[in-house]
Amino acid sequence: SDFNGKKCDAIRQELEKLYKNKEINEHQYNYFLASLINSIDKHANTASVYGAFLKSLKKSAVKDFELELLPIIDGNKDGKVYNEDINILIKKIKGDILYLDPPYNARQYSANYHLLETISKYDNPIIKGKTGLRDYSNQKSKFCSKSQVNQVFEDLILNADFKYIFLSYNDEGLMSLETIKEIMKKYGEYKCFTTNYKRFRADKEENRNHKKSSTIEYLHCLIKN
């Protein structure tokens, strides 16, 4: 709603001010920002993604906005978060287990979640359209391109310095089951597990384009040589 939008923006401005005035450190800033984004998503007047908005306000959108802090998990291990092209990052890291859950269709994540990106960066970008879409040309994933996905996937597997590699994908992805199998078998011992999964329909367009009520979810497993 308009009121909730203004409230969220006021919180975002205050958070930026606190950080710039050094009243909170970087870790605190990122924690509060993540909590804000998570809370905003619960009140968004969308059908899950931000490529389009609902014509009428739904109940969660008009419910008074509250900033809910994310839970903090105590532990003795330091985690690392990366934000870069996976095919570049994969050459810099190594480990035992690599779990991959890439985009599987032509819809770009950067377009579907552009509003959350703008809230995060708070960079006042030039926007267009009713949804306020920002320029995302430098964030497009090759995994969303039918002509590029096979090559970038094989490059990823080739350069992965991990013993066990798992890929989550489904039967409607840009890469076929046989293509994935063919690529992964080149690099070690391969197995595939399947299960039926109820389709998630975000909007009416999804209902029109897909007749099936479920998809086949694949878990591709590779023990790399």
pTM: 0.82
Map out the domains of the chain as residue ranges.
82-103+141-225
Residue 71 carries which DSSP code?
P
Round to whole Å and give the CA distance between 70 and 84.
24
Cα 215 versus chain centre, distance: 20
Residues in the chain with pLDDT values less than 50: 207
**Looking at residue 89, what is its pLDDT?**
98
* pLDDT at residue 49, as a whole number: 79
Report the pLDDT value the prediction gives residue 35, as an integer from 0 to 100: 98
Residue 126 makes CB contacts below 8 A (sequence gap 6+) with: 134, 135
Q: Is 151 left (phi over 0), alpha (psi -120 to 50) or beta?
A: alpha
Q: What are the residues whose beta carbons fall under 8 Å from the beta carbon of 133, sequence distance 6 or more?
A: 111, 114, 127
Cβ neighbour number for residue 169 with a 10 Å cutoff: 22
Residue 211 to residues 106, 147, 197, 214, 216: CA-CA distances in angstroms?
Answer: 19, 26, 14, 9, 14
Give the per-residue pLDDT at 37.
Answer: 95
Q: How many CB atoms are closer than 10 A to CB 161?
A: 12
Q: What is residue 43's three-state secondary structure?
A: helix
CA nearest to 175, candidates 143, 201, 221, 141: 143
CATH topology of domain 82-103+141-225: Rossmann fold (3.40.50)
Helix boundaries (H) for 21-95: 26-43, 59-62, 86-89
Give the dihedral sign, CA 124/129/134/137: negative
Two tokens, residue 96: 């035992």
pLDDT at 55: 86
